[in-house]
Amino acid sequence: MSDFLADIDWSRWLESVWTTTARVALVLAVIYVVVRLLRRLFAPAIRATVMSRMAGEPQYEVDKRIDTLTGVANTTLSAVAITIALLSVLPSFGINVQALIAGAGIAGIAIGFGTQSLVRDIVGGVFILVENQYGQGDVVHLAGVEGVVEDVNLRRTVLRDQDGTVHNIPHGAIAVASNKTRLISRVNLVVTVQHGADLNAVFDAVDRTGQQLAQDPEWEAAVTSPPKALGVEDLRPAGIDVRILGETLPNRQWEVMREMRLRLTKTFDAAGIKLAVG
């Protein structure tokens, strides 16, 4: 062992280590600086483009679009930067990158059929982003799952449902994307009153309650169209269904509906209107 160590040209070895380390550090530093610079350039460019194309739309929709596209751009840029860094650094450690690429090409032919789903996911993601089907912060229904969009990239969308569960949904699995918070959200309620109730009184109570809610300083910013009685929805043995519709700012409909139910309960009690049982 001592003979082996004695045969090592330590000065040459140290010089090689320092040279390799310096080369790798320089490559990583350059890539880091370029990535940071590109991110600084992308952010204002994306903001300017989105604001120009979405002129006249609500600011919150513009902000969601900017956040979504900026996140996708940063994620894609990071993936490209990591790939370039690996291809640039590996030769410093004696790894033949050209052989790796050639081998990857041969392997790619062998597993091409297995990557069709990945290609489908990416193509689907491109259309989702280009068509602005949804963005971060929207409440959507995708592939049988409903939740808030936490992240979107080219391959998948991340949703968090009401239970706090996080769902990763590949874009290739999305046949229909239902956005519940695009531009407006809707109050959509059905109350069932007993047979024999004065429907005119019921309609009046609903409309009056909706107007009071919309004029309340605590709620007026959220309610864009006061909830009102649309009419009789259905006649059932249990009672008479009355449909109530209104409009709110995106993502505010659930809290407005909860408040509307609370106020309707008090209004109906005061007017002697009985809700159906069963």
Q: Where in the chain is the domain with CATH 3.30.70.100?
A: 185-271
Mean pLDDT of the region 73-78: 84
Q: Is the pLDDT of residue 16 over 80?
A: no
Q: Is the pLDDT of residue 4 over 50?
A: no
- Dihedral of CA atoms 185, 125, 79, 113 in degrees, nearest 10, equals 150
Return the percent helix, strand and coil in the chain, to nearest 5: 55, 20, 20
Query: CATH for 185-271, among 3.40.50.300, 3.90.870.20, 3.30.70.100, 2.40.50.1070?
Result: 3.30.70.100
The H or E element containing residue 17 is helix 10-53
The pair of three-digit structure tokens given for residue 199, joined into one six-digit string:
């429907």
Q: Judging by DSSP bridges, how do beta strands 239-248 and 185-193 pair with one another?
A: antiparallel
Question: Per-residue pLDDT tens for 102-155?
Answer: 555 545 544 455 567 777 888 888 889 888 899 998 999 999 999 999 999 888
Kindly report the pTM of this predicted structure. 0.63
To 5 degrees, how large is the angle CA 212–CA 56–CA 220? Answer: 10
Q: What is the pLDDT, as a whole number, of residue 130?
A: 86
Q: What is the pLDDT, as a whole number, of residue 69?
A: 86
Q: Is the pLDDT of residue 5 over 50?
A: no
Q: What is the pLDDT, as a whole number, of residue 21?
A: 79
Q: How far apart are CA 223 and CA 253, in angstroms?
A: 8
